[in-house]
Amino acid sequence: MTRKTFEREMKKAKMFAYLGERTDYWEGYQLGLRRAYHGKKFGTETEHALRMSLADDIDEVLRERGRGYRDGLAV
């Protein structure tokens, strides 16, 4: 991921989170973007595995955060 893409996507995610549009999703998305951009320097492998697993959680808030993380990681 290029720096330009990272900055553009981060700006978008922060705007949507600020507006209250699926806040949990966009917070997870930002974490995923950071992991995608910084790689293993951002967070531990344990944190990464936990965030990835949240997308399948029964709790709606955690599930949204996990889905956002996965989507941010895929940019």
Write out pLDDT tens, residues 43-53: 999 999 999 99
Residue 27 to residue 55: CA distance in whole angstroms: 13
- Indicate if the pLDDT at residue 21 is higher than 90: no
Query: What is the pLDDT, as a whole number, of residue 73?
Result: 96
Q: In degrees rounded to 5, what are phi and psi of residue 56?
A: -110, 10
Long-range contacts of 38-43 (CB under 8 A, 24+ apart): none
* Confidence band, pLDDT 50/70/90 cuts, at residue 60: very high
Residue 22, token pair as written in the block: 């699926």
End-to-end CA, the chain = 7
pTM for this entry: 0.94
| Percent of the chain predicted with pLDDT > 70 | 100
Distance (Å, whole) CA 68 – CA 75: 11
Judged by DSSP in three states, 8 sits in: helix
